[in-house]
């Protein structure tokens, strides 16, 4: 049937306008300017190159090019002239050394290949600080940063070290008797030999003032400890000895007091003999510690102070007046009663930057007689003094400072009053910065003294009293650099080499007759006598009980919104901001990378008109707000609505907003929170105003709740775990076979026939959800080991991240996950109060104070893998040892496997990420590529990649055993993630070795497989999370 | 490692022995006469036997001394004459050889001079030498250096080559002349025929063969198919050869002869390629490994040199020079005083980056001979790629090769289990899992 309807595209067409007619006739409205590139007709005709000639040339050059391409490239191979004894090409060497960059202090093993460090591993010989966190794992990439300053500079121009020496020595000598100060402004070195060098420097030049400055200060805790114990240090805690842990605002699984407490904590989180520790957390931001706590109470910083004061009065005595809300008051009461019950098995810690708060904590622990509290071996890795820094700035402004020599600090970035500092710098006659980057401070000083990376340096550290570690170079310095300590030696007129100086220092005062070579080999040395001798002598009487608590309660006056500044697991204090691994590392809590942001509670966000929304692609966008701290300039930051954030409080992370030339434009992300770090207090009163625009986040997890799918993360309570049968709390899914309920693990309901896997090795990776704190060290270790490329913020927004190993974080929708499950089970019908239609929508929404669970997910290496069956080219096949192999050279990139994977662990190379200017990260320059592991293929564009269960490592272990002709012992097999996990959450091994740890873990009651109902038979085990929720 | 080193020494000495001076016996008398005339001072001393002396020299002195040219110690040709010039007699020599440090300690001026000249390297004492032994050695050192009888390489073979070409050329010319002659005869005959009016039989015109071919459609079809199949075969063959560099034989910056080192001298492969035992790389030896031997071997024996010049067109001695230059070795001063410049060898065997190969797995664990993959290296003057190094080639070997499980505790359990499973005593690498993708690709 024909229609008379007339369709028109525009009003003009309807009216039969002439424009439409013209446009119809003329496809290109504008004349294509061919003349511009062809020239006029005459020149074209007079040209000797005719069209035929042109085609001939094109044809010839194409043919020539393709012929030339058939020839293989000539590869040159250049051996050493004299091969060093220790280096065998193709064999890795390991060196024990120590990172001490002022923020992270750890004893590590460095894996080097052909003389270049490629990976950081844990030093298992170290009694303390032997665990590398995510930042330390990533620190190897900082060595190969092409933005490093490559030699000494003066006013932006390169100079020689001899000129530098001559000029600086002259300037220093000139200041000797001028009455002006010579200031050494340094990071915390905690180094015995550096202290000695500084003392000698002071002796030589007189009027030397050594100011130690921590970017993120622990000064209050240091002051409190010093007041009671007479020594500047931080109280040490061993959470392995604590059964009841109460934390008031202390993120002790993060960077609180230098970090490194998680290994001990995790040990007590694994239920053994029916017992595990109980952890109660009072905090405002959702921190790692809060996420792992059995009970988490969100409250603002000022309420935290009151709660702490109240706890003190309940535990130690005395009375304080508080005005806490009833529910919090009750929680505090319960916490106190549990601590009393625990007695010496209890411990209380606080992260409040307030001397009174810290004093109160020390008093409580003392009163409890806490076994976990160890005042005898104070932590030495934070020594900064707020007062000294403030005095220094005023001294500089008033012209009392003649010379300032900085090392390991970046005050122009980390000081809120950087302007005052810059002003003061102008009054000095000599300013030197030892730095590895031309950072914010380096560009305003006279001399940039190029400093080496710690992997190129000598040094020593005293982590804790009596616990020493040595730093040794693992590579010859890449650039013309010099250590601060070397320079001190020069200025002191000492010709001794730094390593000899350290050796002498150690032989004289540390080793106590022990072998220096052994200490250097082990990387660590413990001098027991040191720790016991001094502290007991200097222990003093405490201040009259209750004074501090009353002062604390009195100071707890919250005005307006309270901002808590914190440091992220990925970025720390921001000195590693140019590290693409860390930029792309998703924050364990928000799962957002490449940014910092204000965390705001849901109800506050609603009140202030803040929204978080997802684009059609799923990418997360968020509103901006302007933050103002009285007296400081305001900061406009994007907002993420954070479940668990205490109402009336907000959080913002340090370490972002770097802006100097030393940071690549891609990595100048976020906003500088140090600008609000007034008076070195992490808690600030702010006013918040909604700003215009929406910020684009790079968030890797879009689904935040489990939606009641309890089989992804199985969890139970300690009570149920102890009393009920495992089938009750760790149920195996049932399927129907001939109308009979059959467990899914039964071979009868399997689509596939199983292979015989009893011969040879059969690898399994076990992940204990109780021990995993979500710290993310494994994620970076996996990056380093497997050459995982960095894809950048834009690609992350498109969900094209390439992490082989991710740590999923789930929030409960109700108050607990158990209630989520119950709610889901209770759905009946589509509509109504229990209707599933609205119910699932509600389940998508995390609670105000949700339970949190972390789950590391990598390729599950299914014995009956869905990916393998759909690959059209058999690029992914199963090995006999349990690993799911991925042959990159065979893959044609159909991505069927990724679509068929129930775990979503397969990653696709959408682009060529190495040697591509579009992805200008470490793989795009020769220096950065030095970190690449030569045993693992660098993948090209268009292929799938995924966790290989570190087959290069298992193969190497096997080969070593074959060569030695021996049987492999349990523990020899490791993956990068299991080796990096210091919490004991990840264990790897051979289940055909019946005595191995993983074989036992496989039989453990808590063991389950991810999405067991799918019947994929994975080789990755998970262990049910047990929560100790009983309020004693 | 040590053993092979010794074998190298022995062999090189053996090579040197091969320098037989044919006219030696004939000249012997003449030589003695020259000695008598030249060194009248030594007349009263016992005359030694140069043949015996040579043996002793080779066995005891050659590790530090050469006849001509410095080594650890000074050159020894005509040493006695030189010493006589210094005013030292044979008694001094006896004393020096038997206990040089004693002479130095006695404060002897010349002894100390020599000692200092050679940077305090004291000469090994030879108390076991009798005076006669020393006489014999001296007699050997006093022999006049023979002009090297190098067999002129451009002798017979060059001539024979020339003559072959000449004969061939002559033959070709002959045939050409014959052809011309025939053509001319034919032409002349035709002319005669024309002149005499003899009518030549005209050829009947036949359809040309190609037309017949085209008209037969079946034939066209069959031949097209054959042609297409053939070209497909060649195209396939061509593409399968892309990236396969079998026979690749690049010219290296230093002409290193595996034939001499591994073949004639029998140096163990793993003496130089030592990392093959422990590493995935076999490793190109660093120059200090070369210098272990070449510190003392600065020249090849004359015969080898001659063979090199004639057969391979290479001057081995100048190649050794290149090594010295690269390692910074100063022959005069016998020390590394020059700036070294690493040698940029051209890699011959190259696997793609996505294939993992480990030498130690094959060499040590598997006990595979180097030659299995690299071919008869000991016969190669210039190394070329022997095997195709394709995946099919790897796989084949894994299918056919048995795993060396004996006396290896690692294999005990798995061998027992797998033998039972497959019902065989000897397991191939494939049965052990050596065909799995992930074993080589990760």
Kindly state whether A929 is in contact with chain B, defined as any CB-CB distance less than 8 angstroms: no
pLDDT of residue B21: 45
pLDDT tens for A218-228 read 999 999 999 88
Taking residues B383-390, report their average pLDDT.
Answer: 92
pLDDT of residue B201: 67
Question: Is the pLDDT reported for residue A68 higher than 80?
Answer: no
pLDDT of residue A582: 95
**A897 to each of A20, A238, A799, A1021, B158, how far by Cα in Å?**
51, 46, 17, 22, 68
Determine, for residues B287 and A81 on separate chains, whether the beta-carbon distance falls below 8 Å: yes
Contact A658, A668 (CB under 8 A): yes
Contacts of A90 in chain B (CB under 8 A): 275, 279-281, 283
Q: Which residue has the higher pLDDT, B327 or A66?
A: B327
List of E strands, B85-243: none
Taking residues B116-122, report their average pLDDT.
Answer: 76
pLDDT of residue B144: 75
Three-class DSSP category at B335: strand
pLDDT tens for A759-777 read 899 999 999 999 999 999 9
Question: Is the pLDDT reported for residue A145 higher than 80?
Answer: yes
Three-class DSSP category at A946: coil
Q: How far apart are CA A272 and CA A265, in angstroms?
A: 14
Least confident of A3-17, A370-384, A453-467, B147-161: B147-161
Question: Is the pLDDT reported for residue A327 higher than 50?
Answer: yes
pLDDT tens for A532-547 read 434 443 444 445 556 7
Which member of B288, B354, B356 has the closest CB to residue A83? Answer: B288
Domains and CATH numbers, chain A: 1-75 (no CATH), 89-214+453-526 (no CATH), 219-379 (3.40.228.10), 559-699 (2.40.40.20), 764-803+862-1027 (no CATH)
Taking residues B327-334, report their average pLDDT.
Answer: 86
Determine, for residues B343 and A78 on separate chains, whether the beta-carbon distance falls below 8 Å: yes
Taking residues A329-354, report their average pLDDT.
Answer: 92
User: Would strands A244-248 and A278-283 be described as parallel, antiparallel, or unpaired?
Assistant: parallel
Question: Is the pLDDT reported for residue B94 higher than 90?
Answer: no
Taking residues B400-415, report their average pLDDT.
Answer: 90
Query: Please, which pLDDT band fits residue A1022 given cuts at 50, 70 and 90?
Result: very high
pLDDT of residue A537: 39
Q: Which of A68, A74, A80, A804 should we substitute to test contact with B (largest number of B Cβ atoms within 10 Å)?
A: A80
Determine, for residues A890 and B441 on separate chains, whether the beta-carbon distance falls below 8 Å: yes
Query: Please, which pLDDT band fits residue A865 given cuts at 50, 70 and 90?
Result: very high
pLDDT tens for B154-211 read 444 444 456 788 899 999 999 999 999 999 999 998 888 888 877 766 667 778 888 8
Q: What is the mean pLDDT of chain A?
A: 89
pLDDT tens for A566-586 read 999 999 999 999 999 999 999
Q: Report which DSSP code applies to B440.
A: T
Which member of A88, A877, A889 has the closest CB to residue B278? Answer: A88
Kindly state whether B282 is in contact with chain A, defined as any CB-CB distance less than 8 angstroms: no
Question: Is the pLDDT reported for residue A50 higher than 80?
Answer: no
Kindly state whether A963 is in contact with chain B, defined as any CB-CB distance less than 8 angstroms: yes
Determine, for residues B407 and A965 on separate chains, whether the beta-carbon distance falls below 8 Å: yes
pLDDT of residue A39: 64
Cβ-based burial of A86 (10 A; exposed 0-12, middle 13-18, buried ≥19): exposed
Kindly state whether A897 is in contact with chain B, defined as any CB-CB distance less than 8 angstroms: no
Question: Is the pLDDT reported for residue B286 higher than 60?
Answer: yes
- In this structure, is the dihedral angle defined by the CA atoms of residues B24, B27, B32 and B35, taken in order, positive or negative? negative
Determine, for residues A877 and B437 on separate chains, whether the beta-carbon distance falls below 8 Å: yes
CA atoms within 13 A on the CB side of A530: 17
What does chain A come to in residues? 1032
Question: Is the pLDDT reported for residue A907 higher than 60?
Answer: yes
Determine, for residues B275 and A79 on separate chains, whether the beta-carbon distance falls below 8 Å: no
Kindly state whether A965 is in contact with chain B, defined as any CB-CB distance less than 8 angstroms: yes
Question: Is the pLDDT reported for residue B99 higher than 60?
Answer: yes
Query: Please, which pLDDT band fits residue A477 given cuts at 50, 70 and 90?
Result: very high
Taking residues B57-69, report their average pLDDT.
Answer: 79
Query: Please, which pLDDT band fits residue A558 given cuts at 50, 70 and 90?
Result: low
Which member of B281, B288, B442 has the closest CB to residue A952? Answer: B442
Taking residues B77-106, report their average pLDDT.
Answer: 82
Give contacts of B 218-257 with A, CB under 8 A.
242-243, 245, 248, 250
Kindly state whether A887 is in contact with chain B, defined as any CB-CB distance less than 8 angstroms: yes
Which member of A79, A880, A935 has the closest CB to residue B285? Answer: A79
Q: What is the ipTM of this complex?
A: 0.83
Which member of A74, A756, A962 has the closest CB to residue B408? Answer: A962
pLDDT tens for A234-278 read 999 999 999 999 999 999 999 999 888 999 999 999 999 889 999
Kindly state whether B286 is in contact with chain A, defined as any CB-CB distance less than 8 angstroms: yes
Domains and CATH numbers, chain B: 1-12+254-388 (no CATH), 22-141 (1.10.760.10), 390-442 (no CATH)
Mark out the alpha helices in B343-429 (DSSP H runs). Answer: 359-360, 370-374, 391-400, 409-422
Cα angle A947-A949-A952, degrees, rounded to a multiple of 5: 105
Question: Is the pLDDT reported for residue B254 higher than 70?
Answer: yes
User: Would strands A181-186 and A208-212 be described as parallel, antiparallel, or unpaired?
Assistant: parallel
Q: Report which DSSP code applies to A495.
A: -
Q: Which residue has the higher pLDDT, B271 or A179?
A: B271
Query: Please, which pLDDT band fits residue A36 given cuts at 50, 70 and 90?
Result: low
Q: How far apart are CA A552 and CA A543, in angstroms?
A: 14
Give contacts of A 52-81 with B, CB under 8 A.
70, 72, 74-81
Query: Please, which pLDDT band fits residue B287 given cuts at 50, 70 and 90?
Result: very high
Kindly state whether A82 is in contact with chain B, defined as any CB-CB distance less than 8 angstroms: yes
Contact A470, A460 (CB under 8 A): yes
Of B5, B133, B9, B102, residue with least CA distance to B64: B9
Taking residues A510-528, report their average pLDDT.
Answer: 90
Question: Is the pLDDT reported for residue B73 higher than 60?
Answer: yes
Question: Is the pLDDT reported for residue B27 higher than 60?
Answer: no
Can you tell me which residue has the tokens 């995924």?
A946
**For chain A, what percent of residues have pLDDT higher than 90?**
69
Instruction: For B226-271, give the DSSP string.
Output: HHHHHHHHHHHHHHHHTT--TT--PPPSS---HIIIIIIS---HHH
Query: Please, which pLDDT band fits residue B18 given cuts at 50, 70 and 90?
Result: very low
Report the gap between the CA of A979 and the closest CA in chain B (Å).
19
Q: Which of A759, A949, A973 should we substitute to test contact with B (largest number of B Cβ atoms within 10 Å)?
A: A759
Query: Please, which pLDDT band fits residue A966 given cuts at 50, 70 and 90?
Result: very high
Contacts of A80 in chain B (CB under 8 A): 286-288, 342
Determine, for residues A938 and B287 on separate chains, whether the beta-carbon distance falls below 8 Å: no
Q: Which of A82, A932, A992 should we substitute to test contact with B (largest number of B Cβ atoms within 10 Å)?
A: A82
């Amino acid at each position: 049937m024909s229609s008379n309807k007339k369709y028109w595209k525009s009003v003009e067409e309807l009216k039969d306008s002439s424009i439409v007619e013209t446009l119809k006739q003329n496809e290109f409205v504008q004349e294509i300017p061919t003349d511009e590139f062809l020239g006029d007709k005459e020149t074209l005709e007079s040209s000797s190159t005719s069209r035929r000639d042109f085609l001939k040339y094109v044809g010839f050059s194409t043919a020539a090019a393709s012929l030339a391409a058939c020839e293989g490239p000539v590869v040159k191979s250049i051996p050493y002239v004299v091969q060093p004894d220790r280096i065998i090409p193709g064999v890795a060497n390991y060196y024990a050394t120590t990172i001490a960059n002022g923020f992270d202090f750890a004893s590590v093993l460095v894996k080097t290949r052909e003389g270049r460090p490629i990976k950081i591993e844990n030093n298992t010989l170290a009694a303390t600080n032997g665990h590398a966190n995510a930042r330390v794992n990533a620190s190897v990439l900082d060595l190969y940063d092409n933005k490093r300053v490559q030699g000494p500079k003066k006013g932006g121009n390169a100079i020689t070290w001899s000129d530098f020496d001559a000029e600086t020595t002259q300037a220093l000598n000139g200041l000797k008797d001028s009455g002006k100060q010579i200031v050494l402004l340094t990071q915390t070195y905690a180094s015995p030999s550096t202290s000695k060098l500084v003392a000698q420097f002071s002796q030589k030049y007189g009027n030397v003032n050594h100011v130690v400055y921590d970017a993120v200060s622990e000064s209050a805790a240091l002051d409190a400890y010093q007041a009671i114990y007479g020594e500047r240090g931080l109280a040490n805690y061993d959470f392995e000895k604590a059964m009841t842990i109460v934390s008031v605002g202390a993120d002790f699984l993060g960077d609180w007091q230098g970090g490194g407490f998680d290994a001990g904590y995790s040990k007590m989180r694994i239920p053994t003999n029916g017992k595990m520790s109980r952890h109660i957390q009072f905090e405002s931001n959702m921190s790692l510690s809060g996420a792992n706590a059995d009970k988490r109470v969100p409250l603002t910083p000022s309420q935290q102070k009151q709660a702490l004061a109240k706890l003190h009065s309940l535990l130690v005595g005395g009375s304080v007046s508080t005005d806490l809300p009833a529910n919090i008051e009750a929680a505090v009461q319960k916490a106190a009663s549990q601590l009393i019950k625990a007695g010496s098995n209890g411990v209380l810690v606080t992260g409040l930057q307030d001397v009174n708060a810290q004093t109160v904590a020390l008093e409580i622990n003392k009163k409890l007689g806490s076994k976990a509290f160890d005042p005898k071996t104070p932590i030495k890795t934070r020594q900064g003094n707020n007062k000294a820094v403030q005095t220094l700035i005023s001294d500089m402004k008033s012209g009392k400072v003649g010379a300032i020599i900085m090392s390991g600090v970046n005050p122009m970035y980390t000081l809120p009053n950087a302007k005052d500092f810059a002003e003061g710098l102008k009054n000095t006659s000599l300013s030197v910065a030892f730095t590895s980057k031309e950072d914010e401070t380096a560009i305003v000083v006279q001399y940039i003294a190029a400093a080496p990376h710690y992997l190129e340096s000598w040094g020593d550290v005293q982590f804790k009293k009596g616990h020493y570690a040595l730093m040794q170079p693992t590579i010859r310095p890449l650039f013309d650099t010099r250590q601060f300590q070397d320079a001190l030696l020069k200025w002191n007129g000492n010709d001794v080499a730094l390593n000899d100086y350290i050796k002498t220092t150690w032989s004289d005062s540390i080793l106590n007759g022990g072998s220096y070579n052994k200490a250097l080999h082990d990387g660590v040395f413990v001098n027991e006598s040191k720790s016991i001798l001094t502290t007991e002598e200097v222990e003093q009487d405490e201040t009259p009980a209750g004074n501090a608590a009353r002062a604390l309660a009195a100071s707890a006056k919250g005005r307006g919104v309270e901002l808590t500044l914190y440091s992220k697991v990925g970025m720390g204090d921001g000195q590693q901001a140019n590290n693409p691994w860390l930029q792309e590392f998703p924050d364990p809590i928000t799962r957002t990378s490449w940014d910092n942001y204000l965390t705001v509670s849901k109800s506050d966000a609603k009140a202030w008109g803040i929204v978080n929304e997802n684009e059609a692609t799923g990418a997360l966008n968020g509103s901006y707000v302007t933050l103002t701290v009285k007296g400081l300039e305001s900061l406009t930051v994007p907002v993420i609505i954070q479940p668990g954030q205490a109402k009336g409080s907000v959080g913002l992370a340090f370490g972002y907003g770097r802006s100097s030339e030393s940071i690549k434009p891609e990595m100048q992300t976020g906003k500088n929170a140090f600008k609000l770090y007034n008076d070195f207090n992490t808690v600030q009163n702010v006013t918040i105003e909604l700003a215009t625009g929406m910020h684009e986040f790079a968030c890797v997890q879009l689904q935040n709740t489990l939606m009641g799918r309890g089989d992804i993360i199985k969890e139970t309570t300690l009570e149920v775990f102890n009393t009920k049968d495992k089938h009750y709390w760790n149920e195996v899914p049932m399927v129907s076979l001939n109308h009979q309920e059959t467990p899914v693990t039964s071979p009868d309901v399997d689509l596939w026939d199983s292979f015989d896997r009893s011969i040879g090795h059969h690898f399994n990776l076990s992940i204990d959800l109780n021990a995993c704190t979500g710290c993310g060290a494994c994620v970076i270790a996996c990056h380093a080991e497997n050459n995982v490329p960095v894809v950048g913020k834009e690609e992350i927004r498109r969900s094209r991240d390439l992490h082989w190993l991710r740590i999923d974080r789930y929030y409960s929708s109700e108050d607990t996950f158990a209630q989520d499950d119950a709610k889901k089970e209770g759905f009946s019908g589509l509509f109504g109060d229990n209707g599933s239609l609205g119910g699932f929508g509600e389940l998508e929404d995390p609670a105000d104070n949700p339970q949190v669970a972390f789950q590391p997910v990598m390729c599950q290496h299914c014995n009956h893998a869905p990916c393998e069956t759909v690959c059209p080219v058999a690029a992914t096949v199963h090995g006999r040892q349990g690993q799911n192999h991925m042959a990159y050279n065979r893959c044609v990139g159909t991505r069927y496997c990724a679509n068929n994977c129930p775990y979503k662990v397969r990653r696709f190379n959408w682009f060529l990420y190495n040697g591509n200017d579009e992805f200008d990260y470490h793989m795009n320059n020769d220096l950065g590529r030095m970190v690449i592991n030569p045993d693992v293929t660098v993948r090209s564009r268009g292929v799938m990649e995924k966790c290989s269960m570190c087959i290069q490592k298992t193969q190497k272990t096997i080969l070593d055993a074959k060569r030695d002709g021996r049987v492999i012992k349990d523990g020899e097999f490791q993956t990068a993630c299991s080796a990096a996990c210091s919490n004991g959450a990840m264990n790897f091994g051979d289940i055909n070795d019946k005595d191995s740890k993983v074989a036992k873990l496989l039989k453990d009651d808590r063991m389950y497989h991810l999405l067991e109902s799918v019947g994929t038979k994975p080789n990755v085990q998970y262990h049910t999370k047990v929560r100790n929720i009983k309020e004693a | 490692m040590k053993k092979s080193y010794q074998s190298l020494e022995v062999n090189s000495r053996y090579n040197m022995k091969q320098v037989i001076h044919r006219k030696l016996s004939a000249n012997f008398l003449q030589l003695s006469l020259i000695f008598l005339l030249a060194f009248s001072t030594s007349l009263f001393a016992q005359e030694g036997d140069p043949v015996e002396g040579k043996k002793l020299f080779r066995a005891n002195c050659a590790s530090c001394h050469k006849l001509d040219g410095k080594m650890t110690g000074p050159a020894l040709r005509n040493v006695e004459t030189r010493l006589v010039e210094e005013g030292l007699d044979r008694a001094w020599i006896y004393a020096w050889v038997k206990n040089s440090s004693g002479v130095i300690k006695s404060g002897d001026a010349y002894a100390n001079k020599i000692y200092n000249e050679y940077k305090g390297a004291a000469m090994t004492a030879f108390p076991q030498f009798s005076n006669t032994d020393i006489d014999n050695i001296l007699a050997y050192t006093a022999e006049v250096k023979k002009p090297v009888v190098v067999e002129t390489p451009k002798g017979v073979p060059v001539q024979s080559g020339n003559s072959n070409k000449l004969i061939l050329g002559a033959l070709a010319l002959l045939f050409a002349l014959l052809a011309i002659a025939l053509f001319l005869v034919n032409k002349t005959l035709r002319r005669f025929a024309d002149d005499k009016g003899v009518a030549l039989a005209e050829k009947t015109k036949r359809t040309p063969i190609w037309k017949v071919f085209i008209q037969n459609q079946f034939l066209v079809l069959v031949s097209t198919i054959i042609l297409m199949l053939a070209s497909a075969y060649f195209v396939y063959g061509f593409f399968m050869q892309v990236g396969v560099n079998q026979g690749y034989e690049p010219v290296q910056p230093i002409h290193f002869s595996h034939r001499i080192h591994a073949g004639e001298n029998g140096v163990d492969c793993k003496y130089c390629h030592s990392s093959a035992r422990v590493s995935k790389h076999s490793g190109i030896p660093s120059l200090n490994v070369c210098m272990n031997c070449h510190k003392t071997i600065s020249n090849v024996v004359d015969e080898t040199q001659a063979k090199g010049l004639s057969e391979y067109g290479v001057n081995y001695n100048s190649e050794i020079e290149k090594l010295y230059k690269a390692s910074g070795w100063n022959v005069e001063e016998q020390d590394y005083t020059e700036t070294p410049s690493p040698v940029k060898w051209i890699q011959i065997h190259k696997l793609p980056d996505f294939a993992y190969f480990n030498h130690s797995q094959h060499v040590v664990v598997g006990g595979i001979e180097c030659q299995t993959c690299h071919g008869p290296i000991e016969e190669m003057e210039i190394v070329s790629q022997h095997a195709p190094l394709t995946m099919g080639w790897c796989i084949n070997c894994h299918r056919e090769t048995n795993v060396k499980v004996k006396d290896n505790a690692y294999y005990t359990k798995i061998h027992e289990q797998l033998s039972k499973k497959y019902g065989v005593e000897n397991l191939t690498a494939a049965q052990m899992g050596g065909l799995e993708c992930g074993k080589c690709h990760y």
